[in-house]
Structure 1
Amino acid sequence: MSKIIALSGTKNGVISIRKINEPYGPGSGTVASVGISLSGESENPEWKVHIPLDNLDEVIKALSELK
């Protein structure tokens, strides 16, 4: 699963969201990867965060509360 979203306030920036299995090698847990690229290179973001799927519901709730 992959999703690319235009980054508000930039000309070319994107937010890339991906599900990555075993990101740190065999046996490591699946994560949701959120990347930010000001240049629009979704495959090579300047910033990224990996959120373990076990934490995803709580993170989504916290982000929703920011709205």
Structure 2
Amino acid sequence: MSKTIALSGTKNGVISVTKINEPYGDGSGTVASIGISLNGQADNPEWKVHIPLDNLDEVIKALQELK
């Protein structure tokens, strides 16, 4: 699963959201990878964060509270 979202306030920027299985090698936990690319290259973001799926519900709740 992967999704690309236009980054508000930029001409070409995107936010990429991807599910990555075993990102750190065999047996490592699945993560949600969120990347920011100012030049529109979703596969090569300048910034990214990996959130373990076990933490995803809590992170989503915290983001919704910011809104």
Fold shared per TM-score above 0.5: yes
What's the secondary structure of 2:50's corresponding residue? strand
Structure 1 residue 3, shift from structure 2 partner: 0.2
Deviation of 1:56 (Å): 0.1
TM-score normalised by length of structure 2:
1.00
Match of 2:23 in 1: 23
Identity %: 85
TM normalised by structure 1 equals 1.00
Q: Residue type matched to 1:25 in 2?
A: G
* 1:5 alignment partner AA: I
Runs of 4+ in 1 over 3 A off after TM superposition: none
- Root-mean-square deviation (CA, aligned residues, Å) is 0.1
Question: How many angstroms apart in 1 are the aligned matches of 2:41 and 2:26?
Answer: 27
Residue ranges of structure 1 left out of the alignment (5+ in a row):
none
